Structure 1
């Protein structure tokens, strides 16, 4: 065989191999693109679960019962006549431990008897109440406290979701819901000023629909190299970027400064809530609850939540407020990702069992 012919065969062999790789990437990208739209992030829920509320933005419909069907689960919820999850009669019992929070506290994605508050009631003589309302951020939760104190709990456990609570505080529209909401601004003398009440019943404007959890975490910070930024627009590229990782230290440094206003507002909200509870003789504990993002090592949500849990723990400790950092506890598990619905993202029933065990353990310490 001539030298020229060998070179030509080698050249065409390399081209064929490259084309094979390109075709394989295109097929994988197409497959990921086809699969992704089939999984609706929210799933399908029976109508009437949420009602407009001019003071809080929205509330759960009293007496509602229905199904929530998702790729990851099929469950049913029941809302009592007071607008919360759980038995009406339990709310009539003074001396209860009340959990205040959002959808992670409510128990989106699990049946009524699988929520951690119900598991606590099954294993304890104490009465545990669930005052979680999906989508609520800390500003709405503070406003809800006035109503909750009427049920005379001895303790309020304020569950702060590290995934987006601080991002939604101080905003007229939350990142992951279409409803408007009240919010607070900090005045120059450090006081809270209530805004957007009564809440207008109007669609979410484009200025807010274009925002995302990711964009609000980064706030202009670019965590990727040039080539990573280029492939991020592709499904397979996102997977590669998760594997390659980002400059974690640079992002942590950015978050230390970019989140300061959010932290100041959060601490103002917590202090005001703590003062109101103290005046009523009610104990407060703040729980820092991570989301599924924490389990993705080196990811933007993971770094954000770890950074936030550390900073907020120090801030709450300094303010003399009892704090339980569940992020640190989750990180010690061998397979923390197994506690979450893989596509929908909330805790699954194993996750709620873990939460119940951790709350029981912390109460007995």
Structure 2
């Protein structure tokens, strides 16, 4: 198997920053995951990142991640080996050994957990993922959209307790059962799921998102170092990728955040007053930012990406990190075509979250 590149400690700040941009406010705190990866690298482990095309069609690939409310992870820090334990438990259940792992999403902590697994299990991590952003539920993955069952799934906590959940091809039931176990494990746990072939990965994954996260984080950093507008730099870089389009939806100050943890999710609304007008924006989130209203008009809606960035530095701010008084820029990013099909929108479009407004492309809403 060809190694696309070896990840180093120097790459991690850019990767964490870019993953938080793509994470749309969710996916967990990237700093926690970054520190876990740094620890593994400092101990002499390696993180090999490979392209999906380098997989053999018969290779077994298993997705690994954190599951639960991102807010909980801040208070219940992982030990670092929970997701590896889930991987080994699932391998034992399947009677096969994974050749590689792959992120289930490209946001925050969940861009980092597969890197920890790759390092500690001595397997590569595939440059891609199953969401192209972060979503709050396990069935909301392109792997499942295009026919890969998510179960059997293994879930573990920091005490070494684990369970295997098998719901056949019913990914909604898998999510429901795994969520219940995660809640009983304290609101955050670590999973191995969507065991699939290399051929399935090539067919269903969104390619290159780890590299993209590194590139976006680097783009922001270099723009700041050169005293250039990081938002313009982001827009220019995205235009050359499968995401194609990014734009500032509003600049303003956060004037209110309502947030609660219920049923294993962090949910709420953030309200922002514009700097240059009387306009207001409200962002509704459920772990991740789902819809942005400007003066009660939808300007961006799931599955397109809505991310909140510091107004000066473009540093991403997660949903659990939003606070009154922060000066922010709300940034929209369009999704790749694989996430815009009728099959995909049926699984993670607005109606999947109980939103009444139909999906419309970001580039049209913000025109």
Q: Which has the higher helix share?
A: 1
TM, length-normalised to structure 2 = 0.30
Q: Which has the larger radius of gyration?
A: 1
TM, length-normalised to structure 1 = 0.30
